[in-house]
Structure 1
Amino acid sequence: MSVSVGRPKASLPSKLGDHLMRMLPLLTAVPASHLPLLGEWARQVSSERESGNRLDALRRAQRRAETDIRMALDRLADEFDVLSHDVDDAMSRVGDSIRDLTWGVERELIHELDQPAVYEERP
């Protein structure tokens, strides 16, 4: 049994924490009037990352649903000797239906990525 001597891979939150700890001394040199701008930038980056992750998850779920349905149609076709091109035709309609079903959510996530959130200025 071998043991890895190297440092374990850091997860995203700990990497972010390491970066923030390195930046803290630099933030003391930033004028207080600029700190709200940095806060808005951090919120925007966080929001974009979340929207991007949700969009990726949606697309993975769409592919997973198509795969599950394809497997079911293939089983049905094998059982009743249905031609493969008929299954392909049905799958094209299934793909369209899945995209129609999730179109609104996908457009909303893409809009969030294209149009960063505008935060109201606080007095």
Structure 2
Amino acid sequence: MVIPALFDVEHHSYAGVGENAHGNEIDQWAAPVVKKFITWADYSTSEPSLAGHERDLVTAGILVYPPDGSVPAEWRWFGATPKPKDKMRIDGDLFEVVGQPVRADKAWFNTSILNWRINLKQVNG
């Protein structure tokens, strides 16, 4: 049984465009490309317990089928592999990619469903 990739994610690939006068990289992202993901891998938020502290951190992960998977082509990830500094927009919320995709093709259990986990974060406040 294969789980369909039904949910949309907008992938904004990082495309730094050189350095400014101070030697800092100039941030820029490519236009978003809509791709599919299977499901949330997890989703959690840490809100401070101290009054007056407004910052919270959301960590999440999504599962996607890699480009060379054995599922229908419209469910597979295509184009650029997600990388740090890329951004993903899901249901209007913008997340930043953390690290490289985690591969699940060398799992200890027997699986015929190859997938990647893309780790995401969002800092508010």
Task: Name the TM-score class by shorter chain.
Answer: under 0.3
If asked which structure has higher relative contact order (CA below 8 Å, sep 6+), I would say 1
Structure with the larger helix share: 1
Taking structure 2 as the reference length, the TM-score comes to 0.22
In our comparison, the structure showing a higher alpha carbon Rg is 1
